[in-house]
Amino acid sequence: MAEAPFVPPARLLLGPGPSDVDPRVLAAQAQSLIGHLDPEFIKLMDRIKTMLREVFGTANPFTLPISGTGSAGMEASFVNFLRPGDRVVVGVNGVFGTRMTEVAWKLGGQVERVVKPWGQVFTPADFGPALAKGPAKLLAIVHAETSTGAWQPIEGMAAVAHDHGALLLVDTVTSLGGVPVEVDRWEADIVYSGTQKCLSVPPGLSPLTLSPKALEALKVRAASGPVFPGTTPPPSNPNSIQSWYLDLMQLEKYWGSDRVYHHTAPISALYGLHEGLRLVLEEGLAARLSRHAKNSAALWAGLAALGLKPWAQEGHRLPSLNAVTVPDGVDEVAVRKALLTDYSIEIGGGLGELKGKIWRVGLMGHSSRIGNVMRFLEAFAKALGTQMKLPDVKPALSAAEAAAR
């Protein structure tokens, strides 16, 4: 018997990612392929870089999408700057700060963790003592911690990093296109993101930008000699970056003016990113960020009317990823299962030490719409109402509607 084609069920994606994708992006990705060195494709690459600079809030010439998800952007941000033995200071207040420490450790870095309770945010002063212990190559921090819903202020972080000779590395996977990302104003050096969150493009690319200071550090790192002394380099005499695929020096030769072949670019994915960025800029960044803020406010107005509480620190809650505290005695998995099975709505549960303690409701990109908020609140009240007594949902819907105005 022939294998049947896969037909995905219709879902409303309100989890931590991916988000729903605009039909225009799906149509763009379905277009015919051309070669990855075709002159027309090269023009598209240049337009993508220009639009990424605008969305990142930067004039950095070195701005491009890595072929891989946001995790590839994370790994590229470490492997291109660290040698074994280099010190790295990482802010850990959730899963993705933890992941940064793992990536740096696997590369031989001496990792110093600065820890906060999950859902809390850092101040620049929190990193001073760790940075003062000795030279560090990087201060790494997560702008939008997807595992907790915490929105980390970046202002002042570059000053404390630079005062101690470190570069500032920032994860913006869940913030780019949903909350303000201002790379140049932050004076951040290495910033990466992902496409499947607030940009509402299918997963598979990781936008990344480097400051001029980071670019100089990259060149020094690449020319710093063999990582394993005593070994004989291949005749091609590669640089000393410890990754071939994620080597930014080589990727720049493809994305820059040289156009030297490195790997076959994910052509259809780049069609989709181009269209997704067009949608962002057509809407206007300010209008898009305002939409995310209003829809999150509407969600929380409705949840508050139902008696639900947020998890993340007050004043630092992401509008793109809303962490809802699970009431005592509630089986949160059963609620998520009911939402998916009965209402075809996907939300996320807690990860790591927050497993069973929170729901994660994403309002990102194309998914961030008031109609989706209302649909979720009605379904959520029914699913949760099988386990505990809740107020009538109608006032919650009215509160949400009023907050979105």
Instruction: Please report the sign of the dihedral spanned by the C-alpha atoms of residue 202, residue 351, residue 112, residue 225.
Output: negative
Reference 242, options 134, 139, 113, 104; nearest CA is 104
Which of helix, strand or coil describes residue 48? helix
**Considering the domain 23-278 in this protein, what is its CATH number?**
3.40.640.10
Ranges of CATH 3.40.640.10 domains, the chain: 23-278
* 18 contacts 8 by C-beta, under 8 angstroms: no
Give φ, ψ of 190 to 5 degrees: -130, 115
Rounded Cα distance between 6 and 343, Å, is 21
**How many residues appear in the chain?**
405
**At residue 69, what is the residue type?**
T
Which of helix, strand or coil describes residue 24? helix
Question: pLDDT digits over 36-84, tens only?
Answer: 999 999 999 999 999 999 999 999 999 999 999 999 999 999 999 999 9
Question: Could you tell me the fold of the domain covering 285-403?
Answer: Aspartate Aminotransferase, domain 1 (3.90.1150)
CA end-to-end distance (rounded Å), the chain: 55
Instruction: Identify the residue whose tokens are 């280099």.
Output: 86
Q: Is 387 exposed, middle or buried (0-12, 13-18, 19+ CB in 10 A)?
A: middle
Rounded Cα distance between 336 and 347, Å, is 7
* 150 contacts 175 by C-beta, under 8 angstroms: no
Which two tokens mark 399?
């509160």
Reference 73, options 199, 165, 161, 159; nearest CA is 199
Q: How far is CA 355 from the centre of its chain?
A: 20
Ranges of CATH 3.90.1150.10 domains, the chain: 285-403
The DSSP call for residue 111 is E
Which neighbouring-strand residues pair with 144? 151
Which two tokens mark 261?
């072949």
* 273 contacts 279 by C-beta, under 8 angstroms: no
Q: At what angle do helices 267-283 and 39-56 cross, to 10 degrees?
A: 40
**Is the bond preceding residue 319 a cis peptide, omega within 30 degrees?**
no
**pLDDT for the residue numbered 233:** 85
* 378 contacts 393 by C-beta, under 8 angstroms: yes
Distances (CA, A) of 88 to 80, 145, 187: 13, 19, 18
Rounded Cα distance between 278 and 271, Å, is 11
pLDDT in tens, the chain (405 residues): 899 999 999 999 999 999 999 999 999 999 999 999 999 999 999 999 999 999 999 999 999 999 999 999 999 999 999 999 999 999 999 999 999 999 999 999 999 999 999 999 999 999 999 999 999 999 999 999 999 999 999 999 999 999 999 999 999 999 999 999 999 999 999 999 999 999 999 999 999 999 999 999 999 999 988 888 788 888 888 999 999 999 999 999 999 999 999 999 999 999 999 999 999 999 999 999 999 999 999 999 999 999 999 999 999 999 999 999 999 999 999 999 999 999 999 999 999 999 999 999 999 999 999 999 999 999 999 999 999 999 999 999 999 999 998
CA atoms within 13 A on the CB side of 179: 24
**pLDDT for the residue numbered 225:** 85
Q: What is the pTM of this model?
A: 0.97
**pLDDT for the residue numbered 362:** 98
